Amino acid sequence: MTNIYKNKIISIHFKYFLALILFGSNGIVAGFISLNSYEIVFFRTLIGSLFLTGIFINTKYKLNCLKNKKHLMYLIVSGMAMGTSWMFLYEAYSEVGVSLGTLAYYCGPVIVIICSPLIFNEKMTFLKIFGFVFVLMGMYIVNGNALEQNVSLWGLFCGIFSAIMYSFMVIFNKKAKSITGMENAVIQLISSFIAAALFVIINEGFPVLNIRDNIIPILFLGIVNTGIGCYLYFSSIQKLPTSTVAVCGYLEPLSALLFSAIFLKERLSAIQIFGALFILGGAVISKLSANKIMYMLLIKAKEH
């Protein structure tokens, strides 16, 4: 394994993991915003898309998306799926709580894993399956108590539908292979904002709100967690195997759990720590089986 290959591997994974940590802090930041879930997603995608569009224009990136309209349509669908997923996820949080909402939402990677052999011709190795089972066990251990509670059927539907939209987001983004980096993130976020805006306007009318008391957390959520986070996320997932994206993506809810313990003083029980170790272990096991695929993808990209 050459040093160049190692550096590329480290760089791509660093961007992906940093994006997951930023996304994991979304709940902490959103807790300081006194708006409903749909309005939070509306302003989050609006500010994030404006921020990335400004950078895109200022740095004079070339617009190449029109060269492949099929891939552009894939990316627009992916972005709208992301916006829809966020809205239903935040609604699930409000209806059934963060734990059960997160558990339902992270059925999304399960859907991606199941579909990847058919859509992307990715081989399902024993280590991938074994690692993924570990991840599922960890998520069940961490959130198991929530399953025993009486919950809202609407809230469960929102969580499951957000998972379905998550899988659409990942699959269609990876199919838009010719649109990468900053251009990918900009189109993704603008499409996400359009979906959120249409939903809010149809259901609540155009949101003319006094956001003065929420301006700092809204800007932070929009610029850092969404703008920068989405750029890091979408510039890395296209270069990672789908299974790695799906399984290592569980580091996002794990980081959310840790942030809650640190910033909200929510004490982690022994069983939750045990479940967190399962999640980390499963992600590592799955990644070990993906290194060979990663190397092949990088070599193929270099040839083109």
pTM, two decimal places: 0.77
pLDDT digits (tens, 9 = 90+) for 10-22: 788 889 999 999 9
Mean pLDDT to the nearest integer, 58-65: 82
pLDDT > 90? residue 74:
yes
- DSSP character string of the chain: --HHHHHHHHHHHHHHHHHHHHHHTHHHHHTT--S-HHHHHHHHHHHHHHHHHHHHHHTT----GGG-HHHHHHHHHHHHHHHHHHHHHHHHHHHH-HHHHHHHHTTHHHHHHHHHHHHT-----HHHHHHHHHHHHHHHHHHHHHHTS---HHHHHHHHHHHHHHHHHHHHHHH-TT--HHHHHHHHHHHHHHHHHHHHHHHH-S-----GGGHHHHHIIIIIIIIIHHHHHHHHHTTS-HHHHHHHTTHHHHHHHHHHHHHS-PPPPHHHHHHHHHHHHHHHHHHHHHHHHHHHHHHHHHH-
| pLDDT for res 226 | 93
pLDDT digits (tens, 9 = 90+) for 181-240: 889 889 999 999 999 999 888 887 766 566 677 889 999 999 999 999 988 988 888 778
pLDDT digits (tens, 9 = 90+) for 239-260: 787 767 767 777 887 787 788 7
